[in-house]
């Protein structure tokens, strides 16, 4: 097997907060006490001053470039994570006495979003994979009547079950809303297909604390007006993400991540190519050693970000995780609701880390299959 990193950094397969590019960490560390030419930390400067404004613009403009975000879309930096979006979206775009929102429940996070939407509005589950333990995804397109639903909500990648849409679902004329938290920026996207797309940064776009929302302007204009200020997307658009003090450090890290993707990686097409190769390597090992390993997701909807699998002999799980740790491979335990093993291989996971894990899995299978 390849040796683990020699600089005291392990290969961290945490599902989130997740591993960050080492160059980003080094830059942030070098600037933490005093930004170059400023003399103060990013943690100390005003969120309305020119220093922070520069970094917020770098993040916003970089996202617009990477994703080719059209001009009729706003890019917001909010707080509260997915949990707040679960409530804000139906509160803004669903009226209880009118058309329900359509929810495709493809895993744990879609289920949680649907539950919140039922509290704050009127929502209908148009697809639910729970009977099959969320191993597969609905067929395309959704074939929904545009006169019956206010919007269609889905999760592009379910972190816990490891199922992922390869392409954007076709919701027809119904506004499409997406939780892209765990595969944001892993490949190019056609943003024009969405009315709203959001992502929490701590998996693929930086540090915990900031939620990126990309929303079409006319969709914001259609929102309910009778909401408290912070819960209104319109308030955040009007105030350019400064309705309250934003998470300045998380936005600063996001700016560094965007620069890394553009300057070091070379854009999202190259990032996607790397992600395909990394995921393929792990799934090859799972399929090669079927006497020991079994994947959770059906092959056609396997996630490129979260590789979820089990040991057929579950009594070996603790040993697998213990020896993995000893080999510099950390945070591989599956979510408590699924069990087994989960390798989260987001953008910043080095190719070397994936190869090291694949070699460990092959060696372990040779000993125990």
* Catalytic residue ranges: 109, 179, 203
Write down the H helix ranges in the chain.
22-31, 50-66, 81-93, 108-120, 201-204, 217-221, 233-238, 248-259, 268-288, 317-326, 351-368
- Enumerate residues 6+ apart whose C-beta is below 8 A from 131: none
Rounded CA-CA distance 266/229 in Å is: 39
**Are 134 and 158 contacting, i.e. CB atoms less than 8 angstroms apart?**
yes
Rounded CA-CA distance 41/25 in Å is: 15
Question: For residue 124, what are its two tokens?
Answer: 């209908």
Backbone angles phi, psi at 283, to 5 degrees: -65, -30
Strand, coil or helix: 228: coil
């Amino acid at each position: 097997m390849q040796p683990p990193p020699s600089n005291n950094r392990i290969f961290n397969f945490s599902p989130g907060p997740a591993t960050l590019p080492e160059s980003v960490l080094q830059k942030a560390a070098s600037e933490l006490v005093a930004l170059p030419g400023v003399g103060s930390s990013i943690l100390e400067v005003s969120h309305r001053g020119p220093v922070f404004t520069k970094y917020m613009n770098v993040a916003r403009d970089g996202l617009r470039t990477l994703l080719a975000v059209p001009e009729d879309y706003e890019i917001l930096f909010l707080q509260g994570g997915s949990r707040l979006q679960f409530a804000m979206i139906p509160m803004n775009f669903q009226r209880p006495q009118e058309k329900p929102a359509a929810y495709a429940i493809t895993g744990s996070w879609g289920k949680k979003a649907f539950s919140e939407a039922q509290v704050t509005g009127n929502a209908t589950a148009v697809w639910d994979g729970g009977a099959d333990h969320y191993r597969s995804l609905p067929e395309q397109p959704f074939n929904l009547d545009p006169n019956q639903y206010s919007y269609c909500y889905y999760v592009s990648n379910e972190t816990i079950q490891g199922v992922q849409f390869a392409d954007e679902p076709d919701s027809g004329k119904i506004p499409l809303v997406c939780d892209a938290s765990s595969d944001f920026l892993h490949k190019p996207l056609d943003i024009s297909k969405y009315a709203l797309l959001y992502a929490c940064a701590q998996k693929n776009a930086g540090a915990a604390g900031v939620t990126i929302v990309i929303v079409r302007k006319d969709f914001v204009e259609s929102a309910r007006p009778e909401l408290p200020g912070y819960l209104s997307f319109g308030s955040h658009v009007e105030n350019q993400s400064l309705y309250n003090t934003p998470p300045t450090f998380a936005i600063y890290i996001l700016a560094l991540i965007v620069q890394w993707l553009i300057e070091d990686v070379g854009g999202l097409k190259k990032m996607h190519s790397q992600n395909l190769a990394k995921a393929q390597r792990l799934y090859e090992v799972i399929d090669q050693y079927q006497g020991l390993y079994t994947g959770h997701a059906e092959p056609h909807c396997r996630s490129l970000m979260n590789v979820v699998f089990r040991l057929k002999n579950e009594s070996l799980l603790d040993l697998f995780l213990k020896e993995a740790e000893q080999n510099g491979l950390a945070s591989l335990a599956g979510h408590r609701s699924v069990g087994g093993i989960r390798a989260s291989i987001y953008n910043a996971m080095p190719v070397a880390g994936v190869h090291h894990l694949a070699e460990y899995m092959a060696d372990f299978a040779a000993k125990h299959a």
